């Protein structure tokens, strides 16, 4: 197994507050890793650091052996890292179809794209994606009119459209109904194996559905790592995390 992502001693400090402190993480090919931790544990910040949204104070991030520590967001994205945000981010005034089209990023430069007419290339690809996330009957609807769950799927679909080798999902089921969550876990299980994923999630039942290995963060550092049962039986985790918020 080759490591897709490797974080070494990643630290992010704001003046006197250290959000992420010497965090190490290694994710292997085809793995679905869940990132757990109480609020303020540094999960989202870690994703920010991986994707270049925030700059590291110290430490390094490697993607398939390449150092991406100092790259900009778009460079990292072009290295094959896709990210879904905690608050779903889609292009609200564009139709669902156009959202997928924008996410289909074969050409990224403005001038190259001036020669590309819409829907010329992405067609086949989004048929595949629609198979996975659904929304096939909502293609012409402006994304701003979608329900919350649909917006989440759209964003997941967009990230897939981008065809990344590593997907980062920040709370993909936040605000979803039970049925929607069930559909989402189906989507994730379908992706598992063919894609490498890191999922930040609070919903333990969802985590149980999908996770291979779980990494627990606390106070910006690694607390524990292991399979679902190992984590559930880890006394330290129980103490800081399960005790405080409770895993349902």
Partner 1 sequence: MSVHDFWTPFSLLPFLNALIIGISLASIWLIAALGLAIIYGTMGVINMAHGELIMLGAYTTYVFQSLVGVPFLICLPLAFFVVAAIGWVIERGVIRTLYTRPLDTLLATWGLSLILIQSVRLIFGGEPQYVGVPSWLNFQIDASFVHLSGLRLFIVLMAIILVTLTWYILYRTTLGIRVRAVMQDKEMAASFGIDANRVYSLTFAYGAGLAGAAGAMFGALKTLFPDMGSAYVVEAFLVVVVGGIGLIGSVFSSALLGELNSVFSYFTNDTFARFVLFTLVVVFLRFRPQGIISEGMGRR
Partner 2 sequence: MNGNIYHNRKAQWVAYVAVFVLLALVPTVFDNPFTLNQLARYSVFALLAVSVSLIWGFGGILSLGQGIAFGLASYGMGMTMQMQFQNPEYDPIPSFMLTNELETLPLLWEPFLSTPVGLILTILVPTGFFVIFGILMFQARVAGVFVAIMTLAMLAAWYSMAYDMQPFTAGFNGISPPLPLQIFGGEVDPYSPLAYWICVGVLATLTLATKALLHTKFGLIVQAIRDDAERARFLGYNVAYYQVVVFAISGFLAAWAGLCWVMIVQYVSPTSMEIAFSISMVVWAAVGGRASLLGAIIGAFMVNGIQSYLGDELQQVWMLILGAIFIGVVLFLPRGIAGLLELILSKVPFGRGPSGAQWSAETGTEEKAS
Binding footprint of partner 1 on the chain (CB under 8 A)? 44, 53-54, 85-87, 89, 170
Closest separation in Å from C-beta 114 to partner 2? 4
Closest separation in Å from C-beta 159 to partner 2? 8
What is the spatial distance between Cα 127 and Cα 161, in angstroms, rounded to a whole number?
A: 10
Binding mask 61-100 for partner 2 (x = CB under 8 A): ------------xx--xx---xx-x---xxxxxx--xxx-
Closest separation in Å from C-beta 153 to partner 2? 15
How do strand 213-218 and strand 32-36 relate by DSSP bridges? parallel
Q: Which of 2, 16, 17, 117 binds partner 2 (CB under 8 A)?
A: 117
Q: Mention every residue, 6+ apart, whose C-beta is less than 8 A from residue 11.
A: 18, 20, 21, 22, 23, 56, 57, 58, 59
Distances (CA, A) of 83 to 10, 50, 177: 19, 10, 22
Q: Mention every residue, 6+ apart, whose C-beta is less than 8 A from residue 231.
A: 36, 214, 216, 224, 237
How do strand 221-226 and strand 213-218 relate by DSSP bridges? antiparallel
- With CB cut-offs between 5 and 8 Å by kind, which of partner 2, partner 1, none does residue 54 bind? partner 1
Q: Which of 26, 54, 86, 113 binds partner 2 (CB under 8 A)?
A: 113
Q: Which residues in this chain contact partner 2 in the complex, by CB under 8 A?
A: 51, 53, 73-74, 77-78, 82-83, 85, 89-94, 97-99, 101-103, 105, 107-111, 113-119, 136-141, 158, 162
């Amino acid at each position: 197994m080759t490591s897709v992502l490797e974080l070494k001693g990643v630290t992010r400090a704001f003046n006197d507050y250290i959000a992420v402190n010497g965090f190490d993480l290694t994710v292997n090919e085809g793995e679905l890793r869940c990132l757990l931790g109480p609020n303020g544990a540094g999960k989202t910040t870690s994703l920010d650091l991986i994707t270049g949204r925030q700059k590291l104070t110290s430490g390094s991030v490697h993607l398939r052996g390449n150092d991406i520590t100092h790259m900009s967001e778009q460079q990292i994205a072009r290295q094959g890292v896709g990210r879904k945000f905690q608050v779903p981010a889609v292009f609200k005034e564009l139709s669902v179809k156009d959202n997928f089209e924008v996410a289909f990023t074969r050409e990224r430069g403005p001038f190259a794209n001036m020669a590309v007419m819409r829907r010329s290339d992405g067609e086949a690809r989004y048929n595949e994606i629609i198979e996975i996330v659904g929304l096939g009957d909502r293609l012409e609807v402006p994304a701003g009119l979608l329900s919350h769950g649909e917006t989440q799927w759209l964003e997941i679909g967009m990230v897939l459209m981008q065809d990344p080798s590593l997907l980062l999902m920040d709370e993909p089921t936040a605000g979803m109904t039970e049925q929607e969550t069930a559909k989402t876990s189906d989507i994730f299980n379908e992706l598992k194996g063919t894609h490498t994923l890191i999922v930040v999630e609070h919903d333990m039942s969802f985590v149980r559905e999908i996770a291979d290995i779980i990494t627990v963060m606390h106070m910006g550092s690694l607390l524990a790592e292991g399979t679902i049962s190992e984590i559930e039986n880890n006394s330290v985790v129980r103490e800081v995390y399960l005790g405080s918020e409770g895993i349902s």
